[in-house]
Amino acid sequence: MIILNLITLPLGVVVFSKDVVNDERDINRVALVIGNNDYQYVKPLNNAVNDSVLMSQEFKKLGFKVLHYTNLDLKSMKASIRELEKQIAGGGMGVLYFAGHGVQDGGNIGTG
């Protein structure tokens, strides 16, 4: 049986899990960590990239394979999310952590 769960946690963390695995050590764990300081139309941030570096280190300590990217544009962000989906397609847990601006434009939510 395939089970797909989506859990949203504080601090921009989203957890995806697929399949039930009896032994927790056998879980494929992948974390996608994105930190964006630089933006074209809004004020740049000072600490988002640093925060993403620290979170990447913590995920590694917890046994996650980490996909870490900084200062991505929307097209690259979508590609990195597809990579995370590919990494857990056979089952496991995926975590997405984003540090950066969140912007709403005409009812659509984006990243600046």
* H or E, element range at 85: helix 74-87
Q: What is the pLDDT of residues 23-72, one digit of tens each?
A: 556 789 999 999 999 988 889 999 999 999 999 999 999 999 999 999 99
pLDDT in tens, 82-109: 999 999 999 999 999 999 987 666 666 5
* Vertex 45: Cα angle to 42 and 101 (nearest 5): 60
At a CB cut-off of 8 Å and minimum separation 6, what does 3 contact?
17, 18, 19, 20
Q: State the residue for tokens 């995926």.
A: 94
- What's the predicted TM-score (pTM) here? 0.75
